[in-house]
């Protein structure tokens, strides 16, 4: 089961910081990051891929789900 980090309504760099904190706490888990801005999608995706994670993005009812997997 994935850990869910809800960063909707937060402006960058806060979604990236929230993602970093989650990854630092649980390096082997899967994560779903919820954001509502395309710039956050780009920044979180860039951060996670640079850390060696794979990112899948889905759009759902006005927000984005970033599925981050090792």
CA angle 9–38–52, rounded 5-degree value = 100
- Can you give the pLDDT at residue 1? 75
Q: What is the CATH number of the domain that holds 17?
A: 3.30.110.40
| pTM, 2 dp | 0.92
Q: Annotated catalytic, 12?
A: yes
Report pLDDT for 27.
Answer: 62
User: For residue 25, what pLDDT is reported?
Assistant: 87
| Catalytic residue (choose from 3, 12, 36, 37) | 12
pLDDT at 29: 79
Q: How many domains does the chain have?
A: 1
**How high is the pLDDT of residue 9?**
97
pLDDT under 70: residue ranges of the chain: 27-28
* Helix/strand/coil for 33: strand
Give the side-chain half-sphere CA count within 13 A for 20: 10
The parent domain of residue 32 ranges over 3-69
Cα 14 to Cα 1, 6, 28, 41, distances in angstroms:
24, 11, 22, 12
pLDDT of residue 28: 66
- Report the pLDDT value the prediction gives residue 57, as an integer from 0 to 100: 98
């Amino acid at each position: 089961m994935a850990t869910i980090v809800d960063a909707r309504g937060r402006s960058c760099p806060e979604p990236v910081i929230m993602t970093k904190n989650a990854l630092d706490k649980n390096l082997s888990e899967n994560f779903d990051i919820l954001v509502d801005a395309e710039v956050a999608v780009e920044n979180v995706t860039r951060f996670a891929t640079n850390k060696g994670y794979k990112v899948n993005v889905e759009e759902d009812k006005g927000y984005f789900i970033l599925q981050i997997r090792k």
